[in-house]
Structure 1
Amino acid sequence: MTPIRIRIGRGGRGRLSARILVSQLAILALTGVIGFALFAFAQRSALDRTYEERAVAIAKTTAADPQIRRAMQDGGGAVVQAVAERIRQSSGASYVVVIDLHGVRHSHPMPQLVGSPVAEPIVARDGQPHVGTDQGATGRSANGRVPLYGPTGELVGEVSVGIPERDVLGELWHELLTFAVYAAIATALGAAAAFLLARRLKRTTFGLELEEIAGLLQDREAMLHGIREGVLAFAPDGRISVVNDEARRLIGLGTALGSTLDEVLPDGRLRRALDGTLTGTDISVLTDEHCLVVNRMPVTLHGRALGAVVTVRDRTELVGLLRELDSVRGLTDALRAQQHEFTNRMHTLAGLLDIGAYDDAYDLAVESAGAGQALTEFVRGRIGNPLMVGLVVAKTTVAAERGVWVELADDSALGADPPQLRLLLTIVGNLLDNAIDAAGDGPPPADGRTVRLALTEDERGTTVRVADTGPGIPPGARESIFEDGWSTRPDRGTARRGLGLALVHRLVSRHGGTITVSEGPGAVFTVRLPAPAVRPKNRFAEALPVGGDRR
C-alpha cells in the first residue's frame, strides 16, 4: 500500500522559533536582572554586618588599651588622642572616638572637635556593644560602640569606631563584578540552550505557527468525530495516538490512547489487520457485531516513518443486503430454469395429445405434477418447521439447476418449533451454499454430485451435518477456513467471499456450540448447538441474513 507522505509548506518558517527564542531571552534577561539586584541587596546587607562587626572589634581593642583606660579614669588627656589616632590609622577606620560619661569627646580625627560634646546619648551604659550606621562629621560609616572601663572596673565612658561606607561599597562592587561575569556566562549558556530548543521545536512542529497548530487541532477533532468511519493513528512505536468515537464503537475500544494493540485487543484477524500483519486493501474482518473493512496506510515525512493511519468502515448492512440479493438471484435463476423446464414439458404434452398418445400424455402430466410435491412431502416428513422446509426445498431446487443433488438423511428429525430457529436457518443456509458450490465446481464423481444434509434434534441440543462430494478441505487448512476472508474461489461482484464459514463459526461459538470439519476429499461439516437454558420469546432473535456466502 502506498504510504502517505506529508508535505509542509515553508511559508512563515522561523517565526515561531524566533518568537520562542526572543521570549526565552527576555525571560533570561529579566530573571538575571532580578537575581543581580537581589544578590546586590543581600550582599550589601552582609557586608554592612561584616563591617559593623569589624568596627566593634576595633572598638573593643581600643577600650582594652591600658593607657586609654588609666587616662579616662584620671579625667582624660592628650594620651587618649594620641593612642586613638594610632589605632585608627593602623586599622583603617574613619574615626576612633573616646567619649566620657558626660558625652565629651576625648579623641577625634578632627582635633578641633576634641573636648566638644556628642549629640547622641551614651548607649554603652548597659555594658553591651552596639552597632549601626552613623552619619557623622567624617561621612557615612559603619559604626560600633562598646563600653570603656577604668583599671578599677568602673565604667568611665564608651569607644565609638566607624568604618567609611566607601570601603563597603568598594568591596561590594568587586564582588558584584565577579557575580556579573558568572551571570553573563549563565545567560549566554541559557541563550544557546534556548536557540537549540527553538530549532528543535521548529523541526518538531514542521515550521507551523501556533495559530496554525491550533487550527489544525480544531479541524482534526471536528473531522475525526464528525465522520462515520473509524480512524486510528499509530505512533512509530506502535502505540495508539489517535482514535475517534466511531472506531471505539466498531472495534470495542475503551481508553486506548497510549496503549498498544496487544494491550487492548485479543489475538485474531482484527488485530492482525490493524497492526499491519495482514497486508492488502479492503481487508474484511468479521466481529461479533459488525462486518468491517480495514485499510492501513503508513505515514512518512521527508523519508522519516511517523507511524500509520488505519481506517475502519462498517459494511454490516451492505454485506447483509448483498448476501440476500445473492440468494434472491439464485432463486430467480432456479425459477427461470424451472419455467423453461415446465415449458418443455407442456410442449411435449401438447405433442403427445396431437398424435393421440393419450396414455403417455396422462403419465407425463401425473409425473410432472407429483415430482415437486413429492420432494416437499419427503422433507416435511422429517422437518416440522415450515421455514426450514422452505429453505431446504429452495436450496435443493437451486442445486438441481447446477447438477447437484441435495439429499436429506432418512434419520433427520427436526420439530415444528426448534430452539434458536433463526440461528439454525443461518447455519444451514451457509453450509448448504458452501457444499453446493464445492460439489458443483469439482469433477463429477461416479455416483454424481451430491450434498447430504442431516438435521437431528434431542433434549440436549441440535446437530447439523452437511457432506459434499467436492474436492474437500486442503491439508492443514482445517483451522484457517473459519477465518474472515478465507476462500478457494475469487470474489463475485455482489458478495465478498470468505465470510460465510467465519459467520457460522462465530455464531456457533457465541452460543456455546462446536463446529468440526474433515480434511481431504468430500468435506463433512458437523455443528452441535446445545439447547438454550431459557427459550427466547422471539424465535427470530438472531437477526442475521440467511443467504449463505460462497466458499
Structure 2
Amino acid sequence: MRTLSRLTGRRGRNRRLSARILTSQLAILALTGIVGFVLLAFSQRAQLDRQYEQEAVAIASTTAAEPQIRDSMEYGGGGDVVQDIAERIRHTSGASYVVVTDLRGIRYSHPNPALIGKSVGLPLVITDGRAHAGIDHGTLGRAANGKVPLYGPTGELVGEVSVGIEETQVLTRLWQQLPSFAFYVGIALTVGVVTSYLLARRLKRSTFGLELEEITGLLQDREAMLHGIREGVIAFGPDGRITVANDEARRLLALGTALGARLEDLMPDGRLRRALTGVLEGQDLTVLTDSHFLLINRRPVALRGRELGAVVTVRDRTELVGLLRELDSVRGLTDALRSQQHEFSNRMHVLAGLLELGEHEAALEYAMELGCAEASLADHVRERIGSPLLVGLVMAKTTVAAERGVRLTLSDDSVLGEQPAHLDRLLTIVGNLLDNAVDAAASGGSAPPLVRLTLIECAERITVRVADSGPGVPEAVRARIFEDGWSTRPDRGTARRGLGLALVHRLAQRHGGSVHVSTGPGAVFTVTLPTADPRPAGSTSAVLIGKGTGA
C-alpha cells in the first residue's frame, strides 16, 4: 500500500509538473503580449506626436500665408486683425493655440488676450527660414508644436507663427486606437495559447504520456539494464540507424562508436549483416564470426500502431558450441569403443573356441593375423604423418568410420612433418572434413562407403584433400555450403549442424588459404593453407569452436 501511495503521489506530482510547464508557457505568452502591447502603445504615441507636430506645422503655414496677417505684421495698423484671424483659424483647425510674434518675440495673438503684447521669453528658432516641429511646454501645458517663419508682402521676414495642439487630443486619439491594438494582441495571445496547448499535447504523445521524472527514471533503468546484462542488445530506428548498442554488443560485433550509423557503414555484406538487418528471417539465427559463435534474434518494435524500428539480441554461444562439439566427438568415440569391445569379445570367443578344441596352431595364427592387421594400419599412418596429434585424430576417425560401416584410408602420397604449420587449424579442418565425409558416405552413394584423406606438406603450402563416396554436392547449393547453419543432416541435439564447413571456410580464408569443392564421384573438398601464417597475432578464438572434433 505504501508503494502504491508513493507511485500515486509521484504520478500526481508529474501531472502537476506537466501543468506547470503549460502554465509557464502561458505566462510567457501573456507577459510577451503585455510587453508588446505597451511597446506598441508607446510607439503609437510617438507616431501620433509626430503626426500632430506635422499638423501643427501645416496650420502654422496656413496662418503665415494669410495676406491680412502679412500686411499687418509688416506695415502695422492692423488693430485686432491678427488676433481675430488667428483665433478663427484656431477654432476652425482645433488647435490649442495660434500665436503670431514679431522678430522681437512680442505676441500679436494668443488664446489668452492678456498675454498679447508681451514677449514669449524664448529666442526665435525660425531665423534660418525653415519650419520647426517639436514638443512645447508652454503656458498652456504640453503640446505638439509647429513653428514657421512669417514673411511680409515684400518677402521680408517679419516674425513667426507658432501653433500648438494639446496633449489631451493626442491621448484621446491614442485611447481611441488602443482597443484595436488590444484586439490584435488578444488574437495573437489566443493563437499562442492554442499553439502551446497543441504543442503540449504533441509532446505528451511523443513521450507516450510519460512525464519528465518518469522519462529520467526509465533512462536510468535502461542504462543500468543494458550495460549490466551479459547479452548484446542493439536497437535500430525506423531509418535503420543504430540508436542503442550496449557494451556486450560492441564487444561481440566489434562495433566501436556506432550510434547514429548504419550497418552498411560498419561491416561488409555477409550473413552477420543480413541477420542483423532482418534480411534473414527466423529465430536463433546462427552466425559464425572470426571470434565468436552467435545466436541472433531480431524483433520489430511498434507502439500504438507506430513503427519504431527493431531490437536485436546477440547471444555468445562460443564456449557452449565448443563443448557440444566436444561432447559429440566423445559420443562418437564412445560408440566406436563400444563397437571395438564387441569386436574384441567376438575375437576372444573365437580364440577360446580354438583353444578348447585343441587347435593351438590355428589359434596362434589367428592371433598373429589380428595383431599384424592392427599394427599395419597404425604403421601406415605413422609413416606418412609425423605429428602424433594428427595420427591420433586419423586413427580415431578411422575407428568411428568403421563403426558406421565406412572405410577411411590415407593416401599413399600423403606427407606431413612432425611439427607442421597451422597444427591447431589442421586438427580442426581435418576433423570437420572427415566428419562430414563419413556422414555423406554412410548416407548413400556408390558402394562400398569410402573416405579418402590426403595430407601433403611442401615448402609453400599445406594441402588437405578429403574425398567421399557419398551423393556429392548439388550444383544448386554449392555456393551455400560454407554459410553458417547450412546443413543437409538432421540436428542430433548436441552439436550445432552447419558449422563444420563454415568453420573450415573461415579458418582457411582468415589464414590466407582457400577451400574448393568438386565432384568425385561423391564430393571432394580441397583446402590449401600457406606455410607462412598471415593472421593477426593472438587471433585463435575461432579455432576453439572446432577443437573438440579432434578428441
TM-score by length of 1: 0.89
Q: Secondary structure at the match of 2:493?
A: coil
| Amino acid paired to 1:266 | P
Question: Which whole-Å CA distance do the structure 2 matches of 1:535 and 1:366 have between them?
Answer: 49
The 1:539–1:355 alpha-carbon spacing in structure 2 relative to 1, beyond 3 Å, is farther
Farther off after superposition, 120-129 or 192-201: 120-129
Q: Contact 1:475/1:519 (CA < 8 Å) preserved in 2? A: no
Question: Which whole-Å CA distance do the structure 1 matches of 2:415 and 2:127 have between them?
Answer: 126
CA-CA distance at 1:212 after TM superposition: 0.7
Task: Find 2:185's aligned residue among 175, 183, 195.
Answer: 183
> Is 2:225 aligned against 1:223?
yes
Question: Which whole-Å CA distance do the structure 2 matches of 1:212 and 1:70 have between them?
Answer: 89
Query: 1:80 matched to which residue of 2?
Result: 82
Task: Find 2:387's aligned residue among 376, 380, 385.
Answer: 385
Q: Contact 1:326/1:547 (CA < 8 Å) preserved in 2? A: no
CA-CA distance at 1:336 after TM superposition: 3.9
Question: Which whole-Å CA distance do the structure 1 matches of 2:538 and 2:74 have between them?
Answer: 125
| Amino acid paired to 1:40 | A
Q: Secondary structure at the match of 1:524?
A: strand
Question: Which whole-Å CA distance do the structure 2 matches of 1:512 and 1:64 have between them?
Answer: 109
Question: Which whole-Å CA distance do the structure 1 matches of 2:230 and 2:38 have between them?
Answer: 61
Query: 2:470 matched to which residue of 1?
Result: 470
After superposition, the C-alpha distances for 1:380-411 in whole angstroms (9 at most, x for unaligned) are 21122222222111211221222221111111
Q: Contact 1:422/1:539 (CA < 8 Å) preserved in 2? A: no
Query: 1:44 matched to which residue of 2?
Result: 45
For structure 1, the residue ranges without an aligned partner over 5 or more in a row are 1-9
Query: 1:502 matched to which residue of 2?
Result: 502
The 1:404–1:533 alpha-carbon spacing in structure 2 relative to 1, beyond 3 Å, is closer
Task: Find 1:403's aligned residue among 398, 405, 417.
Answer: 405
Query: 1:325 matched to which residue of 2?
Result: 327
Query: 1:439 matched to which residue of 2?
Result: 441
The within-5 A match list for 1:267-282 is 267-282=269-284
Question: Which whole-Å CA distance do the structure 2 matches of 1:549 and 1:274 have between them?
Answer: 29
Query: 1:483 matched to which residue of 2?
Result: 483
Q: Contact 1:101/1:122 (CA < 8 Å) preserved in 2? A: yes
Query: 2:56 matched to which residue of 1?
Result: 55
Question: Which whole-Å CA distance do the structure 2 matches of 1:309 and 1:490 have between them?
Answer: 30
Q: Contact 1:16/1:208 (CA < 8 Å) preserved in 2? A: no
Q: Contact 1:498/1:549 (CA < 8 Å) preserved in 2? A: no
Query: 2:7 matched to which residue of 1?
Result: none
Question: Which whole-Å CA distance do the structure 2 matches of 1:522 and 1:548 have between them?
Answer: 26
| Amino acid paired to 1:302 | R
Farther off after superposition, 275-284 or 359-368: 359-368
Question: Which whole-Å CA distance do the structure 2 matches of 1:535 and 1:26 have between them?
Answer: 68
TM-score by length of 2: 0.89
| Amino acid paired to 1:426 | T
Q: Secondary structure at the match of 1:496?
A: coil
Q: Secondary structure at the match of 1:345?
A: helix
Question: Which whole-Å CA distance do the structure 2 matches of 1:537 and 1:178 have between them?
Answer: 83
For structure 2, the residue ranges without an aligned partner over 5 or more in a row are 1-10
The 1:376–1:156 alpha-carbon spacing in structure 2 relative to 1, beyond 3 Å, is same
CA-CA distance at 1:340 after TM superposition: 4.2
Q: Secondary structure at the match of 2:298?
A: strand
Query: 1:528 matched to which residue of 2?
Result: 528
CA-CA distance at 1:260 after TM superposition: 3.9
After superposition, the C-alpha distances for 1:16-74 in whole angstroms (9 at most, x for unaligned) are 76445433332222221111111111121122122222222322332343332332234
After superposition, the C-alpha distances for 1:154-199 in whole angstroms (9 at most, x for unaligned) are 5443322101212222332333332322222222223222222222
Question: Which whole-Å CA distance do the structure 1 matches of 2:15 and 2:392 have between them?
Answer: 75
Q: Contact 2:53/2:145 (CA < 8 Å) preserved in 1? A: yes
CA-CA distance at 1:291 after TM superposition: 0.8
Aligned residues: 540
Q: Secondary structure at the match of 1:71?
A: helix
Question: Which whole-Å CA distance do the structure 2 matches of 1:286 and 1:21 have between them?
Answer: 54
The 1:539–1:19 alpha-carbon spacing in structure 2 relative to 1, beyond 3 Å, is closer
Query: 2:5 matched to which residue of 1?
Result: none
Q: Contact 1:12/1:207 (CA < 8 Å) preserved in 2? A: no
Query: 2:448 matched to which residue of 1?
Result: 448
CA-CA distance at 1:84 after TM superposition: 1.4
The 1:143–1:520 alpha-carbon spacing in structure 2 relative to 1, beyond 3 Å, is farther
Q: Contact 1:24/1:194 (CA < 8 Å) preserved in 2? A: yes
CA-CA distance at 1:339 after TM superposition: 3.9
CA-CA distance at 1:233 after TM superposition: 1.7
Query: 1:287 matched to which residue of 2?
Result: 289
Query: 2:8 matched to which residue of 1?
Result: none
CA-CA distance at 1:207 after TM superposition: 1.1
Query: 1:25 matched to which residue of 2?
Result: 26
Q: Contact 1:16/1:207 (CA < 8 Å) preserved in 2? A: no
| Amino acid paired to 2:221 | D
The 1:540–1:196 alpha-carbon spacing in structure 2 relative to 1, beyond 3 Å, is closer
Q: Contact 2:289/2:542 (CA < 8 Å) preserved in 1? A: no
The within-5 A match list for 1:46-445 is 46-74=47-75, 77-442=79-444
| Amino acid paired to 1:522 | G
Residue identity (%)? 67
